[in-house]
Amino acid sequence: MPASALLKQHLGVHYPTVTHGEGVFLFDDEGRRYLDGAGGAMTASIGHGVREVAEAMREQAARVAFSYRTQFTNGPAEELARRLTALAPGDLDHAFFVNSGSEATEFAIRAAVGHWRERGRPHKVKVLGRELSYHGMTLGSLSMSGHAARRPDYGSLLHPFPVAPPAHAFRFARPGESEEAYAARAAEAFEREIVAADPGTVAAIIVEPIVGAAGGVLVPPSGYLRRLREICDRLEVLLILDEVITGLGRTGAWFASETEGVVPDLLAVGKGLSAGYTPMAAVLLRTHLVEAIASGSGVAPFGHTFSGNPLGAATCLAVLDHLEAHAVLDNAVERGAQLAAGLRRLAAAHPFVADVRGRGLLWGFEFVRDARTGHPPDPAHQAAAVFVRLCFAEGLIVYPAGIAPLNNAVMLAPPLTIREDEVELLLELLGAALNGMRPEAERWTD
Ligand code: PMP
């Protein structure tokens, strides 16, 4: 067996060995070049090998890499908190740093529950998510995820939090139903779930403003998130938005919640916060939460050894500097429009591709058995996984999305710094992989 650090290699899955990265490209030890059309896992948002970030990391590591959060605060963490909360909507004026998206959503549970305890409501402990959602692999975050494939493995270890139906018009809107009517119906379905769980026991709900890997870029119908905000206010339930994928520019805005006109009580960010240069994530909190937690017994939601370490924070500051100095969000909007137009052209030429959807530089589509009915292929065909391998063979990285029986979606999330000619190359490689998919798609009709 190989002495590999990656468990899957022990299970017989072969990965090439990456040697370096440059802009939107990664290279392996056999000299192959890959266009990183998924930013790895929707993470490498400023591309690979950015010198200024490497330089900022070197400088900070030489000055002080680590200090512990109950002994010191540090300049980079304070500055990062200041800049993030200034960019965030509403009075999300406080930040707590963790090391991964899972830790962020896990911290959000503890903060939500702690806030209710201090307000004299100790029974409000449930956090409701939705089907087709993913909030992380720790047992609390998995308990909130509607990840039908990953939950059963740990069934009895998870909290039995109920999950609400998703908001995904292509699959679940009724024929002829308006966007507004579907938004209302999907939000009402969530409300019914909260009421059935007993709002007196519900601390919060958690929602990805645009669902990522669990669905393949599910953009909710317009007004849906605003309705959820109203429902939460009415039922005295907190709203957690999981912007681990959508935060920090991925959709062409700093936060997707800003575009939707919604201020959550807690907002989780990860991935693009460090753009992959270091493990780092954060939870932004509204003032009323922090005041409640601070007013009480002094039981803090706690963090982790590396929470807010100076090296991680300095790295994220360098990433933020890069995003601002190079007007990267504007590029995401322009290149996103180019990518979307190209994807729609490819979908028109390949009838087994449907529902091109997305925003900024976060795009997805589904494979269907039949363009007229939109029926998905049998999950046993593993459409997304097969396509990811075809793309890899072309030198293009895309991300498999969806959960069986809807394991038929693909995500694109290239670095937000991608150039016009690189978007054209991405579309060319994707087109070649789609041509390779044709014989596979013919088998789905059986
Ligand atoms: N939330 C969302 C929306 C995610 O996409 C992910 C990771 N794919 C997570 C949380 C968990 O983040 P991590 O893998 O960094 O723990």
pLDDT tens digits along 127-147: 999 999 999 999 999 999 988
Name the CATH architecture for the domain at 54-325: 3-Layer(aba) Sandwich (3.40)
The atom of ligand 1 lying closest to the CA of 271 is 15
Q: pTM of the entire structure?
A: 0.97
Say if residue 1's pLDDT is above 70.
no
pLDDT of res. 286: 98
Neighbours of 344 (CB within 10 A): 13
Mutate to test the pocket of ligand 1, among 241, 271, 274, 316 (most ligand atoms within 8 A of CB): 271
Taking residues 308-319, report their average pLDDT.
Answer: 98
Say if residue 446's pLDDT is above 70.
no
Q: Which amino acid is present at 168?
A: H
How distant, in Å, are the alpha carbons of 27, 180, 340 from that of 31? 6, 51, 30
Q: pLDDT of 419-431, one tens digit each?
A: 999 999 999 999 9
pLDDT of res. 337: 98
Residue ranges of alpha helices (H) inside 99-216 are 101-118, 139-144, 169-172, 179-197
Distance from Cα 136 to the centre of ligand 1, integer Å: 5
Say if residue 317's pLDDT is above 70.
yes
- Rounded CA gap, 221 and 181, in Å? 9
Q: What fold characterizes domain 7-50+327-444? A: Aspartate Aminotransferase, domain 1 (3.90.1150)
152 pLDDT band (50/70/90 cuts)? confident
In 3D, which of 270, 265, 272 has the Cα closest to residue 281? Answer: 270
Looking at ligand 1, which residue's alpha carbon is closest to its atom 1?
135
* % of the chain residues with pLDDT over 70: 99
Q: pLDDT of 196-248, one tens digit each?
A: 999 999 999 999 999 999 999 999 999 999 999 999 999 999 999 999 999 99
Angle of helix 310-325 relative to helix 51-63, nearest 10 degrees, comes to 150
Q: How many CA atoms lie within 13 A of 287 on its CB side?
A: 4
List residues near ligand 1 (CB under 6 A): 41, 100-102, 105, 134-136, 208, 212-213, 242, 244-245, 270
Neighbours of 78 (CB within 10 A): 13
Say if residue 7's pLDDT is above 80.
no
Cross-strand pairs, 94: 285
Mutate to test the pocket of ligand 1, among 106, 132, 134 (most ligand atoms within 8 A of CB): 134
Q: Which amino acid is present at 214?
A: A
The atom of ligand 1 lying closest to the CA of 105 is 10
pLDDT of res. 232: 98
Q: pLDDT of 79-97, one tens digit each?
A: 999 999 999 999 999 999 9
pLDDT of res. 297: 76
Looking at ligand 1, which residue's alpha carbon is closest to its atom 13?
101
As a whole number, the mean pLDDT across the chain is 95
Q: Is 379:405 a contact under the CB 8 Å cutoff?
A: yes
Taking residues 16-25, report their average pLDDT.
Answer: 97
Neighbours of 227 (CB within 10 A): 20
pLDDT of res. 432: 98
Q: pLDDT of 35-91, one tens digit each?
A: 999 999 999 999 999 999 999 999 999 999 999 999 999 999 999 999 999 999 999
- Rounded CA gap, 101 and 214, in Å? 15
* % of the chain residues with pLDDT over 90: 90
| Cα first-last separation, the chain | 39
- Rounded CA gap, 189 and 120, in Å? 28
Q: pLDDT of 254-291, one tens digit each?
A: 999 999 999 999 999 999 999 999 999 999 999 999 99
The ranges assigned to domains in the chain are 7-50+327-444, 54-325
Q: Residue 238, SS3?
A: strand
Question: b vs e for 319-340, b when ≥16 Cβ sit within 10 Å of the residue's Cβ?
Answer: bbebbeeeebbebbbebbebbb
pLDDT of res. 78: 98
Distance from Cα 218 to the centre of ligand 1, integer Å: 15
Cβ burial of 122 (10 Å; 0-12, 13-18, 19+) is: exposed
Residue 204 token pair = 């919060």
Q: Residue 240, SS3?
A: strand
